[in-house]
Amino acid sequence: MVKYIIKRLLLLIPIILGVSAIIFTLKTLTPGDPARQILGNDATEEQIQAKRDELGLNDPAIVQYFRYIGGIVHGDFGKSYRTGEPVISEILPRLGTSAIITLGAVAIGAFVGVLLGILSALKKYTWVDSLVLVISMFFQSVPEFVVALVLIMIFAVNLHVLPATGIDSIKGYILPMATIGLASVANYTRITRSSMLEVLSEDYIRTARAKGQTEGNITFHHALRNAMIPVAQSIGTNIGNSIGGGMVIETVFGIPGVGKYIVDSITQRNYPSVLGGALIIAIVLTVINLIVDVSFVMIDPRLKTTIISGSSKKAPKKAAA
């Protein structure tokens, strides 16, 4: 297990190199001059060239790239063109806000999706099953920003129970969480329904019914426990999707998270902030997926054999020698 964790952590190296290379390439191909963006249109050509020299923009792209990678090795993600502050110091305070929204969205999506999936499995091939399918697919098909605007219209404009923007109180987190979470309901519903139908057809479920146990006890005590394994395995993917959706939703709701920080930096051509934000999100996603994978072993110990065998394939050859 330790070898597996170390191997997954080492994968951070090619991930960082790949993400940084892609963004550096896009930065090179993107029109516009960050130096002029910073100094304004009234700046002279000499001032712009001096600013470019200060920022290192006159160096070849490959030199800029390896200089940046060398800084990351020492924990330096660059400095913001707009404020001159280290990017990492600007992102870390926002990271907690984005994490709260992401985890809350995943919890809402999983809770609603699992309930709908159980209901759909218990009422399979009925109008209830069809209604659950329509509801879940609706939230998956409608763009998240449209859902956000509808929720703002209902709960902020008409009912006046939740704020439309900002996070001045805990109420400010509710609409962003609900917006992102509802987008993942269809995935959780589909997985839960499929898994529940498979588990409910097992022999031990029929044995429990033959012993006279109630359907509620069979569903929640016997079937649901085993049906949750595929649902838990999809959480890592949905966390990544929620982080991606959070970039748009944070902008819609005016939330000072990492997503809005990156979007604002893109419009300002603040490339160190864009690159630093993207790299930190990539690192966070990799660590989260590792935690989720390791947690699978706690949920289903049978997976431990697969992980160990995958990280020690050379063992049989040594034994044969």
H helices then E strands: how many in the chain?
Answer: 18, 0
| Residue range 40-66: mean pLDDT, rounded | 83
| pLDDT at residue 319 in the model | 39
Q: Is the dihedral of CA 88, 92, 94, 100 positive or negative?
A: positive
DSSP 8-class letter at 202: S
Give residue 318's pLDDT. Answer: 41
pLDDT at 184 over 80: yes
pLDDT tens, 106-163?
Answer: 999 999 999 999 899 888 889 998 999 898 888 888 888 899 999 999 999 999 899 9
Of 11-15, 254-258, 291-295, the range with the highest mean pLDDT is 254-258
Report DSSP state, residue 163. -
State whether CATH 1.10.3720.10 applies to domain 87-311. yes
pLDDT of res. 314: 46
Tell me the domain boundaries of the chain: 87-311
Q: Find all residues with CB under 8 Å of 206, minimum gap 6, and list them.
A: none
